[in-house]
A and B are shown apart, each in its own frame.
Chain A
């Protein structure tokens, strides 16, 4: 790249901060080390960008994910070379699987030492290639500014994702020209956002004739911005169709809406899954027919015509063959569908959906999420439900993050979401240890909001060191542990699939979470009996400090409903006492995770 006359010359580290500022970055989550010291030195000498010091690089990436998902901005991470970069890998892959826009700056040994097995050297671009949407190694000072602008463009455009920029130390120290963000199109990456009108017309023609329709909306609607969720609401109102959400899509449609069937999939509601199975036209917007959602593929929604709108063409026809593929941004697709629906002649008979809604009402009548809370032992479902009801009554803006396992599914089932960007969970990768650092990132983006990490006692220990970060930045994150002293989902699968042989799933030698909280300058509290639950929740919400609430719950509770591995939607297992299909698990099913 030739130096343009208006290029300003500064150090590489200064170029980086200038580019971040230009890209609207306000917060960087990071951890220093030898290779990135020049950037930390430049950070020290400016006031535009705030640095949040985490306790482990994995947490920096999850924090940036929480920040990005709750704010709609690109999250930014700064880590050192070698172990700094390798520690970040889990977070990067998590962001890739869940399509979260991030830029992660990694330090690298100086260019002349690359390949020499230098101290703290790792082949970062090699290691992170399959864990990122794209990555760069900057080898020439003249490429630095353009590469950073490119990285932000790639991270947020099309299907968002994490981008790594690997920065050798000599590039940080040497002089480099700064160019502002270019306005020209990217040379090769130009994703389609506007849908093909012919496909929209085909979709509307199918939808107008539907007698048993369903709309299945995923994280793509959330990623398309709050407008997409508003348009989804409008479309569902306009059509009178039922709507279900994936785990990633929760909040894109209000959970309190009568047209909402709840979450679908492995631990989705009976009505959502049976409606998916029995529908005649399915409209998928921004979801990817993930195996947690489809169950057994050859028995997935066998009688339906399928319309699939996704911004990533590779998501279409990957797992499930569809009849009408639509490539485009969820908001643009919904806008076009609404316009085409209004323009098309009205359906001859508006009551055509009545039998379908009657059928759905019968399924709803199963009340598949019902449970009985009696006696002293706290049911985990009850704990989440009370947490939801009590936080809702406070009318405070509430964000929920989770770790991974049973508590995550109970949170998805019993905590209602009315708006997008308020629910942060590791869906694709299923990363235990996600929730606490993600909550940190959310709290940084929304200092006055209530941010709760619904956790399990096993998951929370995977990034517990971040309690230190909460204390340092006075982040009043609430950690609500459903403590059943088991890796609950592992225990559940062992009970159902492996003859109740609880191999290594018992949480032996747990810390005293109350004392643990106190040692990290936070508040610890505990509920061991049902009559203590509400008081603990109230006390937790009232505290201005970070809190760990250790909720000791029933140890052997399973998460239902459940579609066992290798089973179809209409073979759900319901909770004991509720009548439903009982599917045995085949050997084929056991192979699946």
Chain B
């Protein structure tokens, strides 16, 4: 019983028809049934076959996560649903753009830390810098926390994209 009440995070990849309304269906499913969305990303991945890939990070008990996958799978435009967390080793990345505004020592410190975190400077003025960073969510969060006292002004993040390691592939 205690096992069934344990919550876990799941990173779920969904291959869908690239058609109007498909994202609304997925989001409506989560809001209508009261499931969590920690992050959600979507983009076309196969233009010729009109396939998009949605990566959704959610959390819940095992029963809820199974339910989320079954509910996603029965949406008419959904081709495949894959629980990457359950299925084995996988890579999760997100991209962030982080703007820091400041001068002097703060600015120098921000640039030094960016270097240590392998964040790229993609825009700079005398008073500001925009860092581009990819990585796991925790790494981005750590960097953002470090920037806060140094003049953090704005953060834009994509949410997670993910893919399984090795030869196993999710295709239609």
A and B are partners in one complex rather than unrelated chains: yes
Partner of A129 from B21, B71, B74 at Cβ < 8 Å: B21
Surface stretch bound by A, among B75-83, B88-96, B117-125: B75-83
B73 to A313, Cβ gap below 8 A?
Answer: yes
* A174 contacts chain B at the CB level, 8 A cutoff: no
Q: CB within 8 A of A188: which of B21, B32, B71, B79?
A: B79
Q: How large is the interface on B (under 10, 10 to 19, 20 to 34, 35 or more residues)?
A: 20 to 34
> How many residues from A make CB contacts under 8 Å with B?
23
Task: Pick from A64-72, A100-108, A315-323, A360-368 the stretch touching chain B.
Answer: A315-323
Contact B28 A316 (CB under 8 A): no
A318 contacts B77, C-beta separation under 8 Å: no
Can you list, as one digit per residue, whether each of A116-127 has a CB less than 8 Å from chain B (1) or not (0)?
A: 000000000110
Q: Tell me which residues across on chain A come within 8 A of B71, comparing CB atoms.
A: 314
Complex Cα distance A135/B75, Å?
Answer: 11
SS class, residues of chain A in contact with chain B: loop
Q: For window 171-224 of chain A, which residues contact chain B by CB distance below 8 Å?
A: 187-189, 191
Q: Which of A134, A137, A312, A314 contacts B76 (CB 8 A)?
A: A134
How many Å lie between the Cα of A33 and that of B32 in the bound state? Answer: 32
Known: A312-B74, A316-B70, A317-B66. A129 touches B17 (CB 8 A): no
Decide yes or no whether A407 CB sits under 8 A from chain B.
no
Cβ–Cβ contact A130 & B32, under 8 A:
yes
Q: What's the least CB distance linking A379 to chain B, in Å? A: 42
| A154 interface neighbour in B24, B70, B73, B76, Cβ under 8 Å | B76
With an 8 A cutoff between CB atoms, is B169 at the interface?
no
Residues of the A chain whose Cβ atoms lie less than 8 Å from the Cβ of B73:
313-314
A154–B77 Cα gap in the complex (Å)? 11
Q: Are A313 and B76 in contact (CB under 8 A)?
A: no
Measured CA separation A4–B4 after assembly (Å): 54
Flag whether B155 is at the interface (Cβ < 8 A).
no
In angstroms, Cα B79 to Cα A313, docked, is 15
A133: chain B residues within 8 A (beta carbon): 76
Contact B28 A318 (CB under 8 A): no
Q: How far is the CB of B138 from chain A (nearest CB, A)?
A: 32
Q: Can you name the residue of chain B whose Cβ is closest to the Cβ of A159?
A: B74
**A312 contact set on B, CB distance < 8 A:** 74
Least CB distance from B107 to A in Å reads 46
**Please, how many angstroms separate the alpha-carbon atoms of A188 and B20 in the complex?**
15
Please determine whether A129 and B24 come into contact, CB atoms closer than 8 angstroms: yes
Closest beta carbon of chain A to B14's beta carbon, Å: 11
Interface pairs (9), CB distance under 8 Å: A126-B24, A133-B76, A134-B76, A188-B76, A189-B77, A191-B74, A313-B70, A317-B63, A318-B70
Q: What 10 A-B pairs come out closest when comparing CB atoms?
A: A314-B70, A134-B76, A189-B76, A313-B70, A188-B79, A314-B71, A130-B32, A314-B74, A188-B77, A154-B76
